[in-house]
């Protein structure tokens, strides 16, 4: 029997789960190892970033007309960028080996995540307006 990584012959009396030549786990072939962990923290931080920046911009005391431009910019452009990044994260995690399929998944996930991020921005501004109105 040969190691699936370095292709060196394994000794018959080898009781170790590691190859004595390369030190890798010889019981699993390359590419069939444990699945990658999903980067939840990065995903949620990127998804919530436009809403958090919007909330901070709205809370800064200034005239309403001077902060409208940055708030709209962060809401629309930030949500689009956040959606693209989150879509790529999802597609890389869920995608198979077919590049075309991964690109289509990234595009679909990006549109969906941009809508979710835009909704979070809208919800944050709406809630902020309710709290400061009272």
Per-residue DSSP letter, 39? -
CB contact set of 44 (below 8 Å; sequence gap of 6+): none
| The pair of three-digit structure tokens given for residue 23, joined into one six-digit string | 């030190």
64 Ramachandran zone, left/alpha/beta (phi>0; psi -120 to 50): alpha
CB contact at 8 A, 86 and 120: no
What is the model's pLDDT at position 123?
A: 84
**In this predicted structure, what is the pLDDT of residue 3?**
77
CA 83, 86, 91 angle in degrees (round to 5)?
A: 120
pLDDT along the chain (134 residues), means of 10: 75 73 64 68 93 81 71 88 92 78 88 92 76 59
Q: How far apart are CA 89 and CA 23, in angstroms?
A: 31
State pTM to two decimals.
0.65
DSSP H/E element including 83: helix 79-94
Report the length, in residues, of the chain.
134
| Angstrom distance (rounded) from CA 5 to CA 24 | 7
């Amino acid at each position: 029997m040969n190691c699936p990584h370095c292709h060196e012959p394994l000794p018959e009396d080898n009781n170790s789960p590691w190859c004595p030549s390369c030190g890798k786990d010889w019981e699993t072939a390359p590419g069939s190892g444990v699945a990658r962990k999903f980067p939840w923290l990065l995903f949620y931080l990127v998804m919530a970033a436009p809403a958090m920046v919007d909330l901070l911009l709205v809370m800064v005391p200034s005239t309403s007309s001077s902060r409208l431009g940055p708030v709209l910019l962060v809401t629309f452009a930030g949500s689009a960028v956040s959606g693209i990044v989150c879509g790529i994260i999802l597609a890389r995690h869920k995608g198979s080996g077919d590049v075309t399929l991964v690109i289509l998944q990234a595009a679909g996930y990006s549109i969906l995540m941009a809508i979710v991020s835009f909704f979070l921005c809208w919800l944050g501004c709406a809630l902020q307006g309710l709290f400061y109105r009272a």
